[in-house]
Structure 1
Amino acid sequence: MASPQVITLIKLMRRLWLALALAIIVLVGVNLILSISGGKGRKKEVKLDDTLFLEKKEKIQFQEVRKGAKEHLRVKAERHYLGEDGLFHLEGGVEVVFPRKQKGEDVVIKSDSLIYDQEFNHFWTTGKAWVKWADVEIAAGRIDYFAPEEEFAGREGVKISTANWSVTANSFRLGIKTKKFECKGEVLLELINFMSSANSLVIKAQHLTYDRRSKIGLCQGGIWLEHGESQGQARQIEFKLGAQEGFIKWLTLRGEVKLHLKNEWPGNSPSASPEFSEWFYPEFQEVEAEEIYIESFVQTKLIKIIKLTNNVKIKFLSTNDKSSLLSGKRIDFFFTARGDLKEFITEGEARFVRYQEGKKITLGGNRLALKGKNRILVVIGSQNNSAFFDSPDLSFSAGRIEIKMATNDWKALEGVEATVKGKTSIEPHPKGFFDPERLVFLASQEMRSRRQGQRLVLIGEVKIWQGSRKLKAKRIVLERDSSRLEAQGEVEVNIIQEKLDPSQRELWIKGEEMAFEPRTRTMVMKQGITLEMGQVKMTSRQFKLYFDPESNELSRFEALDKVEMSYKRVKASAFKADYLYKSQSLILSGQPILEEPSRGKIRGDKLTFHLPDDRIVVENKGEERSIILIKS
């Protein structure tokens, strides 16, 4: 039996164990209450496994993160922990580096907060972030990085920039392996070194894709362009950048392209010279086309080629209300390496319209081109349609038309047909063989102008006619401002005067040379002249035709030197012959000789033919006149 001391000790131990158990129960309950009140989302500091980190610090300085023996990434942050959500969190001055084999192409993400999964597949920032990859810098409100695909995505205030271009957008995707960009939503692309100009090319769009390997980009959706004071629009723009993305190698605008250009031609360019700028005004241009292609020189970065296709219109505007319009199905411009316009070619329904001082001049054909240092504008017709020129005072068509821009002189070749439209200025024109106030029609193989169209030279099977007057020759020169007229080679003049008696109504005269002098109202014919008027036929070495100053009708003509004539049954010869329309009498003088079948040869000092009654009066000095009647 135990002693009373032992029993007392046992009871005391039981009480102590009961108290201890009660204390433990209380502590566990308090801890449970505190745990419940703290919530399940409380962050938990993690002792990371050595297979993940070589170092474990509260403030991490570029700690290597490995997957096995291979370096996967390097991180820098104020805190690095595994959250209750099973994701790794980086906070405070975060910088993550993804090493790449290519030198200088490591991918760096900077942010105040970044999260990634335990498989290292998906990294994303929870606030504004920055990415550095090679020479590319990216900023956005949020950036995601998908490691297996090596692809970035971002949204909210996106800006991507390099030394030579930059882009802003609502969102983007970037493939590191593929080196392809995609930007969406309110895209603004700035190409800084555009064709070696001082102004950047700014492109606004809804969608942009760009491949850094091929250096080809594509903008789509509501395209708007800005370059200095110039603006434009299109449905699509495709471009290719040159070496180191330092310049635009080529650029294509597609879909209802409209451009409003201002001061795009340098003032010191030969294309801005006076003779050129009077046709194509360099200050402003309005351009419309379905597609425009622009290519630059690799060495100088200046524009090399501009090609416009489908319903092209280019309007050139000056600061003094002058303008011109170039249009066609296709227009190609070619430039020198110095930036000067070398030539342009317009094909398919080509038109050039020039508005100047209230006058409209139109050129048209199947092909219109500007060629050579001499600035010659060439218009060529098609197989079925000739080239044409139209102005207020002159219109013509031909197989080919060439205009020298420096002097405004031109020439038309291959089947020329022209209309001189008559007087258009307030200055009076002297009366000529052809009335300057009425239409005159011309046809020839070639026609040239001098003195800005006031002197017309027609060559090859030339024919000019107006009403009842016709002129033919191998070559004719018409001075439009003075009404002077010259013709050479197989010259034919035909005059019909409807009011006269049928016997003298129509006159034909042929020779080798002709000149009409408006001051004296005379026409002189030379070399091998033949004349026909009714039944009067005459030849001589020279003829003069005189026109009435008021009516411009033929009043008389004169034959000189070896005159020979025939009228009905008689023939005559003399040194000189005069015909007076008013009296219808033909006077021969200078040893005239008359041959009449029934009387033989009759000589006199003067022979006068009265055509209405067929009388011939023979006169001799000191003798009476004799009269001969011609029998039919």
Structure 2
Amino acid sequence: MRIKHRGLPSVLGLAALLLFLLLVIFIAGSIFYNLKNRNRQPEAINSRPSSVQAYHEKFQALEFAGEKMRLGLKADQFSVDTNGRQRLEGNVEITDEEPAGGVRIMTSGLVLDPEKKLARTEGGARLVSGNLWLEAQEFEYDLKDKVARAKQARLERMDLSLSAGRLVYQAGNGRLELKEGISGEIKRKQAPLSFSSTGLIMESDGLSFQGTDLKLAFGLINLAAGRARFRLKEVGSALDSVSLEGGARARCRLRAEESRFQEVNLSSEQMFLQSGRDGAVIRTPGAFAVESSGQEWILTGQGEGLELYMENGQLARRLKASRFRSSLKEVAGEEFQLAGQKADYDLALGRLRLGGQAEARHRHFNLDSASLEFSLNDRSFLAPGFNLEIRPEFFESPAMFFKAGASIYLSGEQLTGRPGFFDLNGRVRIWQTGEFCRAEKAGLDGKTGRVILEKLTESSWLVERADGRQERLDLRAEQARLQPGENRADLGGKVEFKLGNLGLSSDELELVFSEENPGRLSRLEARGRVNFSWKGYRAFGTRAEVDLVNETLTLVGTPKLVTASGERLEADKLTLFLADDRIRLENQKRERSLTILVRGQ
């Protein structure tokens, strides 16, 4: 029997319609829900801040465009934004094991950009790589190139501290580059070091640096230059060596209780410093300039090939140079111009040695010599093989026999001097226009005008006689003392005197000059074995006096006269009248007899 269901098709159609309506409602609801929550951040995988989620297993083989990197990540919270950037928060730590020594960044917030392969910290962060420790307000780490960039960074490495406005650290080769407001220091008991720069590179060894606009302080030494390289020591004093170029400058302190200066300032286009066991040495291969000042002296100079030696504590001790020219000026006003092919200056003792044709210039003299040693302590100097010009201003009182207002020239084997005095030794020669003398030793006193000559072998002076005539005076003696303050000259030891046609020899001779006219010779007095000659006559005695005003010569002490014909006469007193060629002999023992001989009779 067949049963027919006439209502079945209508029921099935109604069910299909209901299913279709439900599908439309579901799709519409899904679209509305997605539109409503489109801008909402995804929830963190773990929203509990107290629990630490480790992601190093998931990211141990993190892939960026098919490249695998050995990274480790830790954070309290992890999320991914709609741009695909991964955000880590809380106690965040990222570790990169690829560079030598590794890189570990610790921060409170980190954003990973897989597309750009960058990790950027949010807020303060620390980076540790080997024995390098960096701290900055912000880090950006390139995961591919292994380069970290930071702002307002601070570096710590053993006893080295550095800070800079910007920093770039190449983890692959350990090279560190700093810019903007760089300052650094090494804290060591033995010669600490500090420096500043506008740009600095630290090599991977952490000991070698190169910088621009560098200023460096090492103990008592301050250095500066447009470009510089320096290397540190691992132990002991901080600085090993420095190379400066482009307006290099150095300031070095001196031991104040010993030196006449407090510091030495150097400048050169190129400068090197090498630190050693006993101190440091600064060298300039080319030209340099030096300045130094103290309570009494101001030094300025220039030269080539400088070597400045520092002792322990970096106190400047000794300066050496070539082609050195300097000006030493006293605060009181005296100034010395000193120069030499070679210079060796003991800064502590205040002793300057110049060699290779040295010279000294002063308002009182000009000196040229084979070498020169000058002492700042007592203003004394020593010059072998010298040529000296004494200017008229040297003598406060006019010197005897020399013309006032004209320079005096001297030469000899060795000269020692101090302000206002010269002591000359060894084949001394003194000359002026028309006058000269030769002696073994000589001393000149500028204040008194006194001149002392020893072993006077030859001299020739132009003197004025009583009648105004000028006549040549020749002198020889073992010693001569020219004393203008007393208007006399004292000669002793084998004295020889010649004035015109009058010759005299004696053990001692005193020359007396006029008080009214210091250049006019007025009287002579000879003592001890006196022997004189005049117009063919010779006389002997123990004492003689020559009155050049009255033109007489008186000889006493058992005088003997030998005439031109060889006749010998003895008397108690002999008087020679130079003006009218008369000789008078007086013999008191023989009834006061008087004999007068007139020459030519």
Which TM-score applies when normalising by structure 1? Answer: 0.80
2:232 alignment partner in structure 1: 241
Matched with 1:272 is 256
Q: Pairwise mapping of residues 585-600 of structure 1 onto structure 2 (< 5 A)?
A: 585-598=552-565, 600=567
CA deviations 1:147-186 (Å, max 9, x no partner) are 45433233x32333334333333433222232211223x2
1:378 maps to which of 344, 350, 353 = 353
Inter-CA distance 63–245: structure 2 relative to 1 (3 Å threshold)? farther
Counterparts in 2 of 1:603 and 1:113: CA distance versus 1, 3 Å: same
Tell me how far apart the structure 1 counterparts of residues 149 and 236 of structure 2 sit (CA, whole Å).
Answer: 23
What does residue 272 of structure 2 align with? 293
Deviation string 1:246-284 (CA, Å, 9 cap, x unpaired) is 7121223322235677xx44xxxxx322xx433xx21x5
**8 Å CA contact 1:164, 1:245 repeated in 2:** no
Q: Distance in 2 between matches of 1:362 and 1:245?
A: 42
Give the alignment of 1:294-373 within 5 angstroms.
294-297=273-276, 303-308=279-284, 310-318=286-294, 323-337=298-312, 339-371=314-346
Q: Structure 2: which amino acid aligns with 1:23?
A: L
Q: Matches of residues 9-28 of structure 1 in structure 2 within 5 Å?
A: 9-28=8-27
Change (3 A) 1:291 1:339: same
Q: Which of 160, 164, 175 matches 1:165?
A: 160
SS of residue paired to 2:27: helix
- For residue 541 of structure 1, report the CA deviation from its aligned partner: 2.7
Alignment partner of 2:56: what SS? Answer: strand
Structure 1 residue 514: deviation in Å?
2.3
Farther off after superposition, 562-571 or 120-129: 120-129
Partner of 2:411: 443
SS in 2 for 1:546: strand
Amino acid at match of 1:169: A
Q: Is the 8 A contact 1:394 1:420 kept in 2?
A: yes
Note the C-alpha offset of 1:219: 1.1
User: 1:258·1:289 contact (CA, 8 Å) conserved in 2?
Assistant: yes
Matched, 1:190 2:184: yes
Q: Distance in 1 between matches of 2:347 and 2:154?
A: 47
Letter in 1 for 2:232: L
Distance 1:194 1:354 in 2: 39
Amino acid at match of 1:507: L
Does residue 577 of the first structure (1) align with residue 544 of the second (2)? yes
- Provide closer, same or farther for how the CA distance between residues 599 and 375 of structure 1 changes in structure 2, counting only shifts above 3 A: closer
Give CA-to-partner distance per residue, 1:13-46, whole Å, 9 cap, x none.
Answer: 4322322222212221332344356559965989
Q: What is the deviation of 1:345?
A: 0.9
1:445-524 alignment runs, 5 A limit:
445-449=413-417, 452-465=418-431, 469-498=435-464, 505-517=471-483, 520-524=486-490
CA distance in 1 between counterparts of 2:392 and 2:462 reads 22
Displacement of 1:99 in angstroms is 3.2
- Please tell me whether the aligned partners of residues 329 and 350 of structure 1 are also in contact (alpha carbons under 8 angstroms): no
Match of 2:201 in 1: 209
Please state how far the C-alpha of 1:75 moved relative to its aligned partner.
Answer: 1.1
TM-superposed CA distance for 1:242, in Å, is: 0.9
- Aligned CA-pair RMSD: 4.0
In 1, distance between residues paired with 2:12 and 2:237? 90
Give 1:540-555 correspondences, 5 Å limit: 540-553=506-519, 554-555=521-522
CA–CA distance in 2 between the matches of 1:244 and 1:25?
Answer: 81
Tell whether 2:491 aligns with 1:525. yes
* SS state at 2:496 partner: strand
Preserved CA contact (<8 Å) 1:461 1:474 = yes
Cα distance in structure 1, aligned partners of 2:505 and 2:296: 59
Q: CA deviation at 1:507?
A: 0.5
Change in Cα spacing, 1:113 to 1:411, as seen in structure 2 (3 Å) is same
Q: Secondary structure at the match of 1:353?
A: strand
Q: Does 1:61 align with 2:54?
A: yes
Aligned 8 A contact 1:399 1:413 in 2: yes
CA distance in 2, matches of 1:258, 1:550: 62
Instruction: Provide the C-alpha distance between the structure 2 equivalents of 1:594 and 1:504, rounded to a whole number of angstroms.
Output: 29
What's the CA shift for 1:414?
1.9
Of 35-44 and 610-619, the range deviating more from structure 2:
35-44
One of 547, 563, 583 as aligned partner of 2:530: 563
The one-letter code sitting in structure 1 at the alignment partner of 2:184 is: E
Matching of residue 623 in structure 1 with residue 593 in structure 2: yes
Partner of 1:98: 96
What residue ranges of structure 2 are gaps of 5+ in the alignment?
none
Q: Which runs of 5+ in 1 are unaligned?
A: 48-56, 266-270
Aligned 8 A contact 2:385 2:411 in 1: no
**Counterpart for residue 361 of structure 2:** 390
User: What code does the residue aligned with 1:158 have?
Assistant: A
User: Is the contact between residue 466 and residue 549 of structure 2 (CA under 8 Å) also seen in structure 1?
Assistant: no
Sort the Cα spacing of 1:357 and 1:416 in 2 relative to 1 into closer, same or farther, 3 A.
same
What's the counterpart of residue 123 of structure 1?
119
Alignment of 1:101-180 (within 5 A): 105-116=101-112, 118=114, 122-125=118-121, 128-154=124-150, 156-180=151-175
Partner amino acid, structure 2, of 1:552? P
Paired letter, 1:174: Y
Does 516-525 or 225-234 show the bigger shift? 225-234
Distance 1:183 1:167 in 2: 9
Mapped contact 1:348–1:367 kept (Cα < 8 A): yes
Aligned mates of 1:503, 1:396 — CA distance in 2:
36
Distance 1:380 1:473 in 2: 26
Query: Any conservation in 1 of the 2:275–2:281 contact (CA below 8 Å)?
Result: yes
Q: Secondary structure at the match of 1:583?
A: coil
> Structure 1 residues 549 and 194, CA, compared in 2 at 3 Å: closer, same or farther?
farther
Q: Aligned to 2:390, which of 391, 406, 419?
A: 419
Q: Are residues 410 and 573 of structure 1, via their aligned partners in 2, closer, same or farther at CA, if it must alter by over 3 Å?
A: same
What is the CA distance between 1:8 and its match in structure 2? 3.4
Change over 3 Å in CA distance of 1:77–1:550 after alignment to 2:
farther
- Distance in 2 (alpha carbons) for counterparts of 1:343 and 1:608: 70
DSSP 3-state at the match of 1:277: coil
- Normalising by structure 2, we get a TM-score of 0.83
Percent sequence identity over aligned pairs: 18
Deviations 1:537-572 (A, max 9, x none): 333333222233443233222333333333333333
Task: Look up the match of 1:50.
Answer: none
Q: Distance in 2 between matches of 1:244 and 1:453?
A: 50
Q: Which residue identity lines up with residue 56 of structure 2 in the other structure?
A: Q
Give 1:133 deviation, angstroms.
1.9
Cα distance in 2 between the residues matched to 1:624 and 1:467: 47
> Partner of 1:54 in structure 2?
none
Change over 3 Å in CA distance of 1:110–1:630 after alignment to 2 = farther
Equivalent position SS for 2:31: helix
Q: CA deviation at 1:461?
A: 1.4
What secondary structure is seen at the aligned counterpart in 2 of 1:178? coil
| Cα distance change on mapping 1:436 and 1:506 into 2, 3 Å | closer
